[in-house]
Amino acid sequence: MRWISVKDGLPDDERDVLIYTSIGVRIAWLKMDDRNNDRWRPLGEFDHCIITHWQPLPEPPEEQP
């Protein structure tokens, strides 16, 4: 998978993705408000970081018998 710049597009609303921020990689989801403004959640104490890229989460591993 490749990183996608937030300048090139955003993920679907409320879809878990990996985000690349000014303080590292996190898992978050995007929530668009009524005015079509984006808000990344849940970042908690990381609300002040700059989000530059995102990518879909990888597929979970297959269970081995």
pLDDT for 44 equals 59
> Helix, strand, coil shares of the chain as percentages rounded to 5?
5, 40, 55
2-33 residue pLDDT tens:
999 999 998 887 788 999 988 888 888 887 76
pLDDT for 47 equals 64
27-49 residue pLDDT tens:
888 877 666 566 666 555 566 77
Q: Does residue 2 contact residue 55 with C-beta atoms inside 8 Å?
A: yes
Length of the chain as a residue count? 65
pTM comes to 0.73
pLDDT for 48 equals 72
* CB atoms near residue 58 (< 10 Å): 8
- Phi-psi domain of 57 (left: phi exceeds 0; alpha: psi -120 through 50; beta: other): beta
Kindly tell me if the per-residue pLDDT of 1 is higher than 80.
no
Q: Does residue 50 contact residue 11 with C-beta atoms inside 8 Å?
A: no
